[in-house]
Amino acid sequence: MPSSPLKAALLQETDRGSRDANLDAIEAGLREAAAAGAQLVLLQELHNGPYFCQHENVGEFDRAEPIPGPSTERLGKLAEELKLVVVASLFERRAAGLYHNTAVVFDRSARIAGTYRKMHIPDDPAFYEKFYFTPGDLGFEPIQTSVGKLGLLVCWDQWYPEAARLMALAGADLLLYPTAIGWDPADAQDEKDRQRDAWITVQRGHAVANGLPLLACNRTGLEAAPDDARGIQFWGSSFVAGPQGEFLAQASTDKRQLLLAEIDLARSESVRRIWPFLRDRRIDAYADLTKRYRD
């Protein structure tokens, strides 16, 4: 069991207009987090630029870069200098015509400790990710770090209890989600409220069902669509929940924010003793979960 408590930071940001400007803002945020005593920092999904998946355009592939590459070199140096565990999120160019939405972990070192390629890829209005991203092929394997085993998942993975469960079964100490999700500005307020509440609720459910702390870092701000559509109002609301789904920290919907939280990692053991969900799973009766649907 890693040391407890763990001081974590989530860097909720807006797009600053260029990769260099975004990385400059991230560097400032990492330095602020380190000064505040953070050990682990989670960044938002695809933090180097705008959420380009609002349309389908082959020119957007120019944003991708190899891993390792220029961004991992810069972030790794900062992780080593500041002695931070950093979770980044990049558009990976694996080969010509082969791209992934990939999260990268640095463990207080310039060396990459591990990667996770987004498994569930959406294809919805304003979220045309299947055009850009090949589904992940690294499975649901936690990444070992000095602060514990990180069960790292990405955005659309948030809606799937199977993904969180498999990370828990593989020994994850925390669940982490870099995210880019928001509202259609034309939606009525009650619809906006339902969507945001559902996003928060399903993730709190993952924390409860697995007895694990959970961190979700989302972007914020209005990003216009490249094709003159309405764009997306990213709803921020980054949060940290404990193993019973309790809020440990919550960010605003509409502001850049460094969100700090202390996580008592030892509580997972205590919670799992009184709520032994893993013990009572009927694994003998779950075979149909491998089917798309039961006709």
CATH number at residue 150: 3.60.110.10
Question: How many domains are contained in the chain?
Answer: 1
Q: What is the pLDDT of residue 143?
A: 98
Note down the domain range covering 252: 6-290
Helix runs in the chain, H state only: 19-35, 70-82, 161-169, 189-210, 267-274, 277-280
Nearest-angstrom CA–CA distance, 55 and 126 = 6
Q: What is the pTM of this model?
A: 0.97
Catalytic residue among 53, 60, 92, 155: 155
Catalytic residue list contains 255: no
Q: What is the pLDDT of residue 227?
A: 79
Catalytic residue among 45, 60, 92, 129: 45
238 within domain boundaries: yes
179 within domain boundaries: yes
191 within domain boundaries: yes
Catalytic residue list contains 223: no
59 within domain boundaries: yes
Catalytic residue list contains 53: no
Nearest-angstrom CA–CA distance, 277 and 271 = 10
DSSP-assigned letter for residue 176? E
295 within domain boundaries: no
CA distances from 79 to 83, 107, 113 (A): 6, 7, 11
281 within domain boundaries: yes
E strands in 96-168: 98-107, 112-117, 123-124, 127-128, 143-145, 148-152
Catalytic residue among 92, 118, 217, 223: 118
Residue 118 structure tokens: 């987004």
Q: Which of 97, 139, 98 is nearest to 117 (CA)?
A: 139
Kindly give the parts of the chain with pLDDT less than 70.
1-3
CA angle 165, 42, 121 (to 5 degrees): 55
48 within domain boundaries: yes
Q: Please state, rounded to an integer, the average pLDDT across all residues of the chain.
A: 97
pLDDT, tens digit (0-9, with 9 covering 90-100), for 44-68: 999 999 999 999 999 999 999 999 9
1 within domain boundaries: no
pLDDT, tens digit (0-9, with 9 covering 90-100), for 215-256: 999 999 999 998 777 899 999 999 999 999 999 999 999 999
